[in-house]
Amino acid sequence: MLLIPAIDLKDGRCVRLRQGDLDDATVFSEDPTAMATHWLELGARRLHLVDLNGAVAGKPKNEAVIRAIVDAVSVDIPVQIGGGIRDLDTIERYLDFGISYVIIGTAAVKNPGFLHDACGAFPGNIIVGLDARDGKVATDGWSKLTKHDVTDLAKKFEDYGCEAIIYTDIGRDGMLSGVNIDATVKLAQHVRIPVIASGGVTDLRDIDALCAVEDEGIEGVILGRSIYEGTLDFEAATKRADELSK
């Protein structure tokens, strides 16, 4: 089970949001690069970056910080990035300076042709982010709930050739309310590609629960507020996941 620390970037700082609300941001570090190095030193095997300003603007807005993070850690571990990725040029630029995986979320739902082209142009590098509430996909920073069933879209995007799916239960993200195991497993059972869980992780009990269903196709989990507020010790969680995954 891959435990992936998240570094959400807003105005060049490392923050965490509650349920995707940019107006409800807690600043955890003025130096995201130092934070990235911190997680690497504690045993992280991948980092998850989100350009929150970019997600709103529809184009990268924290690129200098993202480059600095990649320069600091990408020799050692892969880095994945999401937020405001709307064209192939942006993907190519990110991959050129060392990003391993580019995450396409809202754009995948609104413009499936773009996702199809991205998977074809950059095979092995594209991850789809599907955010859902009660099985329906949300877009635009979770502000709009669509009629799309998350399982149907996941199967469609799998056929396009995406590398993995990040599934976020938006009712739980940033709320320390526990992972929606049932919904995550249900999605993983309908696709062949790996699913990465996101949203709601609180403590070691969530890691135990995810490891128990790892064989369903759940490859990893993104960790945010829990590791920043200390309800989950990242080193201990990594050790536990390694033990349970043997």
Quote the CA–CA distance of 196 and 216 in Å, as a whole number: 11
Read off the DSSP letter of residue 138.
E
Cβ contacts of residue 143 below 8 Å, gap of 6+? 20
Residues 6+ apart with CB under 8 A from 197: 167, 179, 184, 210, 218, 220, 221, 222
Give the active site residue among 8, 51, 173, 206.
Answer: 8
Contact 125, 102 (CB under 8 A): yes
Residues 60 and 82: their CA atoms lie apart, in Å, by 9
- SS3 (DSSP) at 194: coil
Number of Cβ within a 10 Å radius of residue 58: 15
Active-site residue flag, 173: no
- Sort 245 into a burial class: Cβ within 10 Å, 0-12 / 13-18 / 19+: exposed
Q: How far from 13 is each of 35, 41, 77, 80, 220, CA to CA, in Å?
A: 10, 20, 21, 17, 25
Check 21, 71, 96, 131 and give the catalytic one. Answer: 131
Examine the residue annotation and report whether 131 is marked as an active-site residue of this protein.
Answer: yes
Catalytically active residues, by annotation? 8, 131
